[in-house]
Every structure is written in structure tokens, then in C-alpha cells.
Chain A
Amino acid sequence: MTELLLIASAALGLNLALSLLAMLRQPSAGDRMLSAQLLGTNGVGVMLLLSLAQDQAALLDVALVLALLAAVVVIAFTRRPQEASHD
């Protein structure tokens, strides 16, 4: 089981890297924000897998904090540019 978890975390890490490269190819603002979203879910996935693979329950807390801060960062990005916002 541990091997599967580690292989899965390596695969997700690769996924993260590839999506980052994909994002860097089109640097428009909207793509940046959706990358923030994507990295949030990917990062949380890797953290969950690592928590079980390394048998450290504390990494679940880290995953929780990552998910929360990903939400905060998305709000910070989308609220930033225009103060004349009517969303």
C-alpha cells in the first residue's frame, strides 16, 4: 500500500509540474487564477497522500491549511484589480 501511495504522490507531483508549465505558456490573468485553483487541489492531494505514506497525521492539518489558504488566495486574486467591482 505504501508503495502505491508513494507512486501516486510522485504522479501527482508530476501532474503539478506539468500544469505549472502549461500555465506558464499562457500568462493571462485568468489562467493564473485558475492555476491557483488547480495547484490548490493538486497540492492538497499530494499532502493527503504523503500524510498516509509517511504515517504523519499532522500532514492532514497541513492539507487543511493549504485548502483554506488556497481559497483565500483565490479571493485575493479576483478581488484585487478593480475597486469598481460589482460582483
Chain B
Amino acid sequence: MTFDALLVLDMLLATLMLMLAIAALHCESLRQGIFLYIVFGLVTALAWARLKAPDVALAEAAIGSGVAGALLLAGLRDRKPRKQKSLLRRPAWQVLTVTYLVIGLALTASWAFLDAQANDVGPRLGAMVQAELANSGVSNPVTAVLLNFRAYDTLLELAVLLAALLGVLALGPERAAPRAAGPVVHHLVAWLTPLLIVTAGYLLWVGAHAPGGAFQAGALLAAAGIVVRLSGNPHNGLPSGIWVRMLAVAGCGVFMFVGLASMGGGANLLQYPANWAGTLILLIEVFATLAITTSLVLVYLGGQPDSWSSGRRKARA
């Protein structure tokens, strides 16, 4: 009985994901496509939960579904409305190319998976991580991999985020804010924002020993900023002038500083001293969270906010 119910749920989730993806490409209006994309994110989060990957499920729910959905909706407003060409009405060669590519990708992935199962491919990643976990300073293996064993990758991710932020800031002034909202939105936002902030702090703290971490916390904080913005508040929760710049750069900056400082004792880049590892990871995560929040909120704003420079600029209409 157990096996049947699990299989039903898994098949359901897999089918739903495929159908939602096709429907999101096939819809007539971009608003419907965005909505289907958000739903796709939710179903993917459920799939991650079924795959026993709570960290990824958290990130998918927070960033992939929530913040990305809000970002897409905000971006939609800037486009001139025009009819969306549905996937099936595109020229045949385009449809065929994409179909063959997807089939090829699926076949390659299946072959790689089955081959790895059949042959002995050496020590598995999970076992290797577990063996070194005690030396990493945290007890959550995902955080250990992200911020210790593969810290360089995470540093580069933060750098990529910063580069994207610079691109958005180069667009000029921010979009115009929505007008002030009525009592319902106001009171909803009034208790939703503190709850988002507290949950973000909780996820950041708990990331050391349970699923959580900087990216999820940063996304939740950014959602708080987005929600404050949507309620028509002229402030968006970010500081002004030099501080917002420092916050945006702090993630990469503190990470690199810690990495370079670790070299002082003759070690390699980002090789934390063993008994300081936990503290350093927490330090990096705090600033990474702040940087991710600042970047996501600024990207949502679509440009430089009023508080960015000393001279006041008119918001883009």
C-alpha cells in the first residue's frame, strides 16, 4: 500500500511538471505564462521535498517560485502588450530542433545514470562529504559543501549576482512605485513583513545544522522588501547612499576578505583555519544574506532608487 501511494504521488508530480512546462510555453498571454511558471515552481518544490532535498526545496519555494514570480510580474509591466506566439504555432524546424535536443538530453542523462549505477565509479560524493563533515565547522552537509568544500563556487555565484545587479543599476532610475494601498494591503503587509524577516533570520541561523542557509534567508528578506514596495511605501527597506552600496558589495567582499585572510598562515585561498571554520562560515553567510537581499530588491526596483545618489532623480514613469 505504501509503495502504491508514493508511486502515485511521484507520477503525479512528474506529469504535472511536464504539463505545466508545456502549458507555460503554449499560453496566449504572458501573464498566464508567468502564473504557470509560479505554479511550476511550487510543484518543483514538492518534487524536491519528495526527493528528500529540503535545502533545494526551500530555495525553489523562496527564489524560484516567489521572488522570480514577483520579478517577472514587475518586468511584464514594462513591456508593450502584444500577442504571444504560442509554441505550437512556431515554424516546424524550430519545434523539431527543440524536440530532438530535449530527447537527446534525456537519453544522455538516462545513459549516464544507468551507467553509474551499473559500474563502480569510485567513492560517492555523499560519502566523501560525510567523512569530512566533522572538520568543516558545520553539521549540515549542504552548508558544508556550499561554504567550505566548494566555497570558491559560492564566491563566484555572489560575484555573478553582483554583476547582474550592476547591469540592472545601469538602466537608470527605478520604476515608479505603485500608489498607496488601502487598509487591507496595509495591514496584511504590516504583519507579513516582520514574519518574513524573522523567518529569514531563523533560516540563516539554522542553516549550520539543518536545511536553510544564506540564499534562502536572503530571498525571504528580499520578499519582505518587495512586499513593502508593493504596498505603495516610497521606502523599500534599503538604506541610502553609501550604505546600500556597501551592503550590495558586502557578500562578495567579506567572502574574499576571509578567503585572502586565511592565506595569512600559509594556507591556500579560502582554506579556513580548522577551529574558526564555523564562525567564519556564519560571518560569510550573514553578509551574503544582506548582499543577496539588497541585490534582489534593487533588481526588483528595476534601477537606481531615489536614495541612490544625493541628487534627486525623477522615477521612470
* A residues near B58, Cβ cutoff 8 Å: 58, 61-62, 65
How many angstroms between the C-alpha atoms of A64 and B217 in the bound complex? 13
Report whether B5 and A66 are in contact in the complex, using a CB–CB cutoff of 8 Å: no
Report whether A65 and B2 are in contact in the complex, using a CB–CB cutoff of 8 Å: no
* B residues near A61, Cβ cutoff 8 Å: 54, 58, 202-203, 206, 210-212
Report whether B192 and A47 are in contact in the complex, using a CB–CB cutoff of 8 Å: no
Which of B126-134, B146-154, B173-181, B243-251 interfaces with chain A? B173-181
Report whether B185 and A87 are in contact in the complex, using a CB–CB cutoff of 8 Å: yes
How many angstroms between the C-alpha atoms of A73 and B231 in the bound complex? 13
Report whether A65 and B182 are in contact in the complex, using a CB–CB cutoff of 8 Å: no
- Chain A, interface residues (CB within 8 Å), range: 35 or more
Report whether A65 and B216 are in contact in the complex, using a CB–CB cutoff of 8 Å: yes
Report whether B66 and A73 are in contact in the complex, using a CB–CB cutoff of 8 Å: yes
Q: Mark B218-233, 1 if CB is under 8 A from A, else 0.
A: 0010010011001100
Report whether A75 and B189 are in contact in the complex, using a CB–CB cutoff of 8 Å: yes
How many angstroms between the C-alpha atoms of A73 and B74 in the bound complex? 12
Report whether B13 and A62 are in contact in the complex, using a CB–CB cutoff of 8 Å: no
- Whether, in the assembled complex, B77 has its beta carbon less than 8 Å from a beta carbon of chain A, the answer is yes
Which of A6, A27, A65 gathers the greatest number of chain B CB atoms within 10 Å? Answer: A65
Given the known interface contacts A32-B31, A43-B46, the answer about A72 and B54 at a Cβ–Cβ threshold of 8 Å is no
Report whether B182 and A86 are in contact in the complex, using a CB–CB cutoff of 8 Å: yes
- Whether, in the assembled complex, B107 has its beta carbon less than 8 Å from a beta carbon of chain A, the answer is no
How many angstroms between the C-alpha atoms of A84 and B5 in the bound complex? 49
- Whether, in the assembled complex, B118 has its beta carbon less than 8 Å from a beta carbon of chain A, the answer is no
How many angstroms between the C-alpha atoms of A21 and B177 in the bound complex? 35
Given the known interface contacts A68-B195, A68-B223, the answer about A73 and B70 at a Cβ–Cβ threshold of 8 Å is yes
Which residues 29-59 of B have a CB within 8 angstroms of A? 31-32, 35, 38-39, 42-43, 45-46, 49-50, 52, 54-55, 57-58
4 nearest A-B pairs in the assembled complex, by CB-CB distance: A69-B66, A58-B54, A6-B5, A58-B211
Given contacts A61-B54, A62-B54, A69-B67, 16 further A-B contacts (CB under 8 A): A7-B1, A20-B39, A27-B27, A43-B42, A47-B49, A50-B46, A58-B54, A59-B57, A61-B212, A62-B45, A66-B42, A68-B223, A69-B223, A75-B231, A76-B74, A79-B230
A-B contact pairs, 17 of them (CB 8 A): A9-B5, A13-B9, A32-B31, A43-B45, A47-B46, A61-B210, A65-B199, A66-B45, A68-B199, A68-B223, A75-B188, A75-B192, A75-B231, A79-B230, A80-B73, A85-B179, A87-B184
